[in-house]
Amino acid sequence: MQTFQYTKAASIDKALAAGSGSKFIAGGTTLVDLMKLSVENPSGLVDINLLPLDKIEALPNGGLRIGAMVRNSDLAWNADVQKDYAVLSQAILSGASPQLRNMATTGGNLLQRTRCVYFRDPNAGTPGGYGCNKRAPGTGCAAMEGFNRMHAVLGTSDKCIATHPSDMCVAMAALEATIQTEGPKGKRTIAFADFHKLPGDTPNVENALEPGELVTYVDLPKPIGGAKSVYLKLRDRASYEFALASCAVVAKVEGGHIRYVRVAMGGVGTKPWRSHEAEAALMGKPANVETFKHAAEAALAGAKPHGENAFKVELARRCVVRSLKMATA
Ligand SMILES: Cc1cc2nc3c(=O)[nH]c(=O)nc-3n(C[C@H](O)[C@H](O)[C@H](O)COP(=O)(O)OP(=O)(O)OC[C@H]3O[C@@H](n4cnc5c(N)ncnc54)[C@H](O)[C@@H]3O)c2cc1C
Ligand code: SF4
């Protein structure tokens, strides 16, 4: 690990004044690992734990504002979140371990990086090391022909097939959250769908943040009256494991027909994967298994497996069908 300057910011202005080359540190559960592996080599760490961003508050429009420093545990166990946004609580509680969730923050979870084993190799992207276009553009992608069982089947490019690992983000995609930021150029609101980037030709560009820009809040819209929401995560073991496939559903059924639905998938996409195709196949249709199977087909129609991860396509279809059954039961 290279040496770095550590400062603790007492205000947002002070945090934003950090020079280029610095990174914010929140819970540290991702960043410190990546620094030990030489994946991240910031010249400075700006500790943002003193910032007044640790509240969950009602918004005047009936939605909920979540501070970027709200710990994953506090968010998951919040009474309003459990009542009105159950999918978010379930998604967070399905991730990591209680100890990690006690440290991990909303902002840090949004910005966690892929678990691709080649990306996390200290020598990736260096001469003699594994090729990794995300670590060092132009060095290739060792995962394409290598160990890719955990990798993505949706949103991939010929430069990178790394999966986005977050559970929380899949629920936020289905809830159509918005992200509030503050940076050297001022404040911005970013739609959740625009926050994480597809790899395309530049897998090293992972999100819409500008250098030095701080996530301040995540806003959830007013809950949909009469809707039920569910997060289902399928993985190699029952806890403390990343998703092979997961699905977040928010659905409202009236008179046996689907009147509102949002579907997002995890473990299979290069970003938290909202499936407009599945939603189109569900809207207005009878809430039954036949409809759910059509939706699952539509959701995975564009899937591109790479050898070892071909099983994910069928697994993800089944995950979509089962989570739709649960959300409409
Ligand atoms: C063993 C293990 C298992 C895990 N399993 C799961 C799992 O099953 N599912 C899952 O979803 N996650 C899992 N995780 C990931 C975990 O959720 C993340 O490590 C955590 O959410 C990161 O939050 P943090 O506050 O610790 O971030 P940090 O490590 O402090 O920061 C992460 C990144 O976010 C940036 N950042 C943090 N806050 C802000 C902000 N406000 N504005 C701008 N940038 C910011 C930092 O600069 C850094 O680049 C696991 C992690 C570990 C170590
Ligand atoms: S999948 Fe992406 S992160 Fe993994 S080795 Fe290939 S380029 Fe790197």
Concatenated DSSP letters of 58-104:
E-TTS-EEEETT-BHHHHHH-HHHHHH-HHHHHHHHTSS-HHHHHH-
* Distance from C-alpha of 91 to C-alpha of 310, rounded to nearest angstrom: 24
- Ligand 2, atom 3, residue with closest C-alpha: 119
Q: How far apart are CA 106 and CA 168, in angstroms?
A: 8
Q: Whose CA is nearest to atom 21 of ligand 1?
A: 109
Domains and CATH numbers, the chain: 5-47 (3.30.43), 228-328 (3.30.390.50)
Q: In what order do the strands lie in the sheet with 178-183?
A: 56-58, 64-67, 214-220, 178-183, 186-191
CB distance 107 to ligand 1 below 6 Å: yes
Of 14, 23, 24, best ligand 1 pocket probe by most atoms within 8 Å of the beta carbon: 24
pTM (two decimals): 0.98
Each of the 329 residues of the chain gets a pLDDT tens digit; together they read 789 999 999 999 999 998 778 999 999 999 999 999 999 999 999 999 999 999 999 999 999 999 999 999 999 999 999 999 999 999 999 999 999 999 999 999 999 999 999 999 999 999 999 999 999 999 999 999 999 999 999 999 999 999 999 999 999 999 999 999 999 999 999 999 999 999 999 999 999 999 999 999 999 999 999 999 999 999 999 999 999 999 999 999 999 999 999 999 999 999 999 999 999 999 999 999 999 999 999 999 999 999 999 999 999 999 999 999 999 99
Per residue in 14-48, pLDDT (tens digit) is 999 987 789 999 999 999 999 999 999 999 999 99
Closest Cα to atom 13, ligand 1: which residue? 96
Give residue 151 CA to ligand 2 midpoint distance, Å. 9
Asked if residue 250 lies in contact with residue 231, where contact means CB atoms within 8 angstroms, the answer is: no
Residue nearest to ligand 2 atom 2, measured at CA: 160
Whole-number pLDDT of residue 19: 75
Among protein residues, the one whose CA lies closest to atom 43 of ligand 1: 214
For the chain, the residue count is 329
Q: What is the model's pLDDT at position 2?
A: 84
3-state secondary structure of 171: helix
**How do strand 257-266 and strand 273-274 relate by DSSP bridges?**
antiparallel
Q: What is the number of the ligand 1 atom nearest to the C-alpha of 24?
A: 47
What percent of the chain stands above pLDDT 70? 100
Q: Are 268 and 204 in contact (CB under 8 A)?
A: no
What is the tens place of the pLDDT at every residue in 273-297?
999 999 999 999 999 999 999 999 9
Please give the mean pLDDT across all residues of the chain: 97
Please tell me the distance between residue 254's alpha carbon and the centre of ligand 2 in angstroms: 44
